[in-house]
Structure 1
Amino acid sequence: MIITGDNESEISNLRNDLSVRFDMKNLGEIGCFLGLEIEKSDQGYFVMQRAYAKSLLERFSMGDSKEKATPMEPNLKLKKDKGKPLKDARKFRQLVGSLIYLTITRPEISYSVSVVSQFMQNPRTPHLEAARRILRYVKGTLDCGLLYKRCDNFVLSGFTDADWAGDTNDRHSTSGYCFNTGSAAVSWCSKKQNIVVLSSTEAEYVAATMATQECVWLKRLIEDMFCEVDYAVQIKCDNESAIKLASNPIFHARTKHIEVRYHFVREKVLSEDVELLSVRTNDQVADIFTKALVEPKFQRFRDALDVVILIARSCYPGHT
C-alpha cells in the first residue's frame, strides 16, 4: 500500500505509475466534484453544495420563497392518509430525491428528508409542503457546509439517540447517530427502525446497535487508510438504562423479546471495542437526527456538527 499524504515525492511517483496504466490528466487542486464544492483555507477544507442547492430552488420554483430558520416545523406529525393526494407525484419524488443528495454536506436536514421520503409511494399536499419547507430552510443557508479542520488529536467518537414511537403511522421509533474525528461529522444517519419496540430503553438500545455497526466499519476504514484504532470508541447516549443493558452480560427476562442481532452492541462493549457513555439530553447532538427541534436547539446542534457558513472565501462558524 502506498501512503501519499502530503509527501510530494510519493504523490508524484504515484501519478507517474498510474499514468502508465491509465489515460490521466492533472486538473490541479480539487474545486468541484459531482456537485460538491471544496474550498481550501488555513483552517482546513470546507465542503458544500451551494450551486446544487441554488439549482434546486430554481428547478422547483422556490427562488422567491420565504426563508425558514429550521427545515421542519417542531412537533409536526405527518399522516400517510391525511390531505389531498397529489395529481402528479413525480415532481414530489424528484424533489425528495434531490434533497437526499443534498444531505451529503447538510447533515442537519437528514431527519426532515428521511420523514418526507417515507411518503414517496402516495404523496399528499402536506407532504409536499413539508418538503418545500426544507427548501425554504436551504434558501436561507446556501453558504452552509462542513468544515473539516486540521486536528492534532485524531480520535473517533460519536453520539447515538432515538425517538421512541415517534412515527404516528406505525409507531416505529427513529434512530439517529453521528461520528466525528475531532472536527466536522464524517458519518451520520437518521433512520426509522424496522421493528416496534416496547420502551424508550429498547429504542435507544436498537439505535446504539446501529451506531456500533457503523463504528466498526469506520474503525476498519481508518485502519486501512491511516492508523490502527487501538482504543474503545466512545459513543454517547442519554439513556442510562440502555447503557446498563449494553454492559450487562446476563441475558435476563427484560431482554428476552429483543432480537438477538440487536445484542451486537453488548458484544462490542464487553470486548472494549466501543464504550457507551452517558450524556445529558441537552447535549445529545444526535437528537437533531431523531426529531424536529425548535430553532435555538436546532442551531446549537447544527453548530456541533461543524455545519458552518462560508464568508468571503474563508470559513467561519455562524448562524443563519
Structure 2
Amino acid sequence: MRIPLGLLGYTSSQSCKLKKSLYGLKQSNRQWYEKLSILLLTCGYSHAHADHSLFIKAHNSEFTALIVYVDDIVLIGNSLAEIERIKHILHTNFHIKDLGKLKYFLGIEVAHSHKGISLCQRKYCLDLLKDSGMLGCKPSSTPMDSSLRLHNDSSGFLDDPLSYRRLVGRLVYLTSTRPDIAFATQQLSQFMSKPTKPHHATVVRVLRYLKGCPGKGLFFPRTCSGHLLGFSDVDWATCIDSRCFITGYCFFIGNSLVSWKTKKQTIVSCSSSEAEYRALASATCELLWLSYLLRDLRIPLLKTPVLYYDNHNALHITVNPVFHERTKHLDIDCHLVCEKSQAGLMLLLLAPYSNQLADIFTKVLPPQSFNTNLSKLQLQNIFAPPACGGLIEETYNPSLNAT
C-alpha cells in the first residue's frame, strides 16, 4: 500500500500496513465509482446529463446504456456486439459476474413476457411480513383509515421506538414499486423521533394491506405511445400540527407509471391557489428532468408533454401572471411554470376532480376512491390467478378521461 499524499513524517522507503480493506468504508463507493467512470469514459461512454450514474454510448443506429448502483450494474442496448465487448472489458478489469437476463436487481423482481415487463418486490414484502410477525394477519382493503388524521401527541409512547423506525424504513424502500403505499409511508415517516401507539397501529394497518397483495407491482407494456403525461395535486393545510400542505404528482409514459412523489412542504401557504401553484412548480421540474432523461436515452417524445391539475385559479394565474396581493409570495414558482408553458415545453390542462390520479399521493381516500385511482396506476399482480385479476388485456389510458 502506497503512503497517502500529504502524510508527513514518513520517507519513501517506508510503507503502510493495511489493517482494514477499503470495501465497506465510507470512501469505498466514491473510489469505486471514480475508477469505473474512468474506464467507461475511455471506452467511449459518456455521462448522461440527467443522471450521472447513467452511462450511454451512441454510434449511428446502435445505442448502449449502463446504469450503476455502487457495484451493481444493469446493461441494455440494441447491439449485442457492444454489450459483449463492454462485458469483456469489465470482467478483465474487475472480474465481474454475469447474471444473464435481468431477473432480480436490488430486491426488485423483474418478470418478462410477450405483453411487457413487470417489476415487483414480492419476496421483500413477504420477508417484511414474516419478520414483523404479520404473515398470518387478516388483510385490509386500504393502507390507511380514511377517517384518521395522524399528528404528534404525548399519549402512549412506544417502549421500543426502534422497531417502528425499522418497519417504516423498510416500507420506504418498498415504495420503489408500490406507489399505493407512498402517502401512508410519508405520513408515518414524520413521527420517527417519538412514535406513539396510534402511529404503530397505522403501520400495522399498512402491513395488513400488503398481506392482501404482496405480489402487486408496476407493469410496463411493450407497446408504448411515447407521450409524457403528468398529474399534480395538493392537499392544503392538511397537517394538524403545522398546517403545512402536502403535494403529490405522478407521471406516465404512455400507460406506464414511471415517476411519483408525495411530500409535506416546509412552509405554510396563505391560500389554496398558492399551494396549488407551488405543487405545479414541483411537478414542472420533474417533467423537465424526465424530458432530459428521455432525450439521453434517445427516446423521442411524439407529442408535447402534458401536465394535468384541477385548480381553476392556478390556470388563471398561468394565463395572466399579474403579481398582486394573492400571488406576491410565489413569483419564482409562477415564473418557472409560465416560462416553460409559454416556451411550448409542456401543456397545462385542467383535469376533473374525479380523474385526478395524484389524489392518491396527497390524501387518505375512502376504499372505493382508493381502488378506483389504484386501478389507473397500472399496478398488477402477476402472481394472481387469471380469474382474480392477473394480467389484463385492456389498459387504462390516462389521457382518455383527464380532459
What TM-score do you get using the length of structure 1 for normalisation?
0.93
For residues 184-203 of structure 1, what are the structure 2 equivalents within 5 Å? 184-203=256-275
**In terms of mean alpha carbon deviation, does 42-51 or 249-258 score higher?**
249-258
Alpha-carbon distance between aligned partners in 2 of 1:90 and 1:159, rounded to the nearest angstrom:
36
Cα distance change of structure 1 residues 204 and 274 upon mapping to structure 2, 3 Å threshold: same
Report the 3-state secondary structure (helix = DSSP H, G, I; strand = E; otherwise coil) of the residue aligned with 1:316: coil
1:287 aligns with 2:359: yes
Letter of the structure 1 residue corresponding to residue 376 of structure 2: A
For residues 196-275 of structure 1, what are the structure 2 equivalents within 5 Å? 196-229=268-301, 232-258=304-330, 260-261=332-333, 263-275=335-347
Deviation, 1:229, is: 4.4
Alpha-carbon distance between aligned partners in 2 of 1:249 and 1:125, rounded to the nearest angstrom:
47
Alpha-carbon distance between aligned partners in 2 of 1:290 and 1:152, rounded to the nearest angstrom:
28
1:99 aligns with 2:174: no
Deviation, 1:284, is: 0.4
Structure 1: tracts of 5 or more residues without a match = none
- Please point out which of 130, 137, 140 is paired with 2:209: 137
Asked if 2 retains the 8 angstrom alpha-carbon contact of 1:79 and 1:168, the reply is yes
Alpha-carbon distance between aligned partners in 2 of 1:77 and 1:10, rounded to the nearest angstrom:
54
Cα distance change of structure 1 residues 313 and 224 upon mapping to structure 2, 3 Å threshold: farther
Match of 1:54 in 2: 126
Match of 2:138 in 1: 66
Identity across matched positions, percent: 38
Deviation, 1:155, is: 1.4
Cα distance change of structure 1 residues 42 and 229 upon mapping to structure 2, 3 Å threshold: closer
Match of 1:316 in 2: 391
Asked if 2 retains the 8 angstrom alpha-carbon contact of 1:178 and 1:189, the reply is yes
CA deviation profile, 1:3-22 (whole Å, cap 9, x unmatched): 13334344334434444444
1:118 aligns with 2:203: no
Between the two structures, name the one with larger relative contact order (CA 8 Å, sep ≥ 6): 1
Alpha-carbon distance between aligned partners in 2 of 1:256 and 1:13, rounded to the nearest angstrom:
57
**In terms of mean alpha carbon deviation, does 256-265 or 33-42 score higher?**
256-265
Asked if 2 retains the 8 angstrom alpha-carbon contact of 1:306 and 1:317, the reply is no
Letter of the structure 2 residue corresponding to residue 45 of structure 1: I
- Please point out which of 167, 170, 173 is paired with 2:245: 173
Cα distance change of structure 1 residues 81 and 262 upon mapping to structure 2, 3 Å threshold: farther
Structure 2: tracts of 5 or more residues without a match = 1-56, 65-76, 394-403
Asked if 2 retains the 8 angstrom alpha-carbon contact of 1:83 and 1:126, the reply is no
Alpha-carbon distance between aligned partners in 2 of 1:63 and 1:246, rounded to the nearest angstrom:
50
Asked if 1 retains the 8 angstrom alpha-carbon contact of 2:118 and 2:217, the reply is yes
Asked if 1 retains the 8 angstrom alpha-carbon contact of 2:143 and 2:205, the reply is yes
Q: Please identify the structure whose Cα radius of gyration is greater.
A: 2
1:89 aligns with 2:89: no
Letter of the structure 1 residue corresponding to residue 251 of structure 2: F
Report how many residues are paired: 318
Letter of the structure 2 residue corresponding to residue 66 of structure 1: K
Alpha-carbon distance between aligned partners in 2 of 1:169 and 1:293, rounded to the nearest angstrom:
20
Match of 2:102 in 1: 30
Instruction: Detail structure 1 runs of 4+ shifted over 6 Å in the superposition.
Output: none
What TM-score do you get using the length of structure 2 for normalisation?
0.75
Letter of the structure 1 residue corresponding to residue 359 of structure 2: D
Cα distance change of structure 1 residues 79 and 182 upon mapping to structure 2, 3 Å threshold: same
1:307 aligns with 2:382: no
1:6 aligns with 2:71: no
Deviation, 1:206, is: 0.9
Alpha-carbon distance between aligned partners in 2 of 1:179 and 1:42, rounded to the nearest angstrom:
24
CA deviation profile, 1:234-292 (whole Å, cap 9, x unmatched): 01001111122123343333211326346422221222222211000000000000011
Report the 3-state secondary structure (helix = DSSP H, G, I; strand = E; otherwise coil) of the residue aligned with 2:329: coil
**In terms of mean alpha carbon deviation, does 278-287 or 18-27 score higher?**
18-27
Cα distance change of structure 1 residues 207 and 100 upon mapping to structure 2, 3 Å threshold: same
**In terms of mean alpha carbon deviation, does 25-34 or 5-14 score higher?**
5-14
Cα distance change of structure 1 residues 168 and 218 upon mapping to structure 2, 3 Å threshold: same
Match of 2:400 in 1: none
Asked if 2 retains the 8 angstrom alpha-carbon contact of 1:158 and 1:179, the reply is yes
Q: Report the aligned-residue RMSD.
A: 2.0
Cα distance change of structure 1 residues 102 and 165 upon mapping to structure 2, 3 Å threshold: same
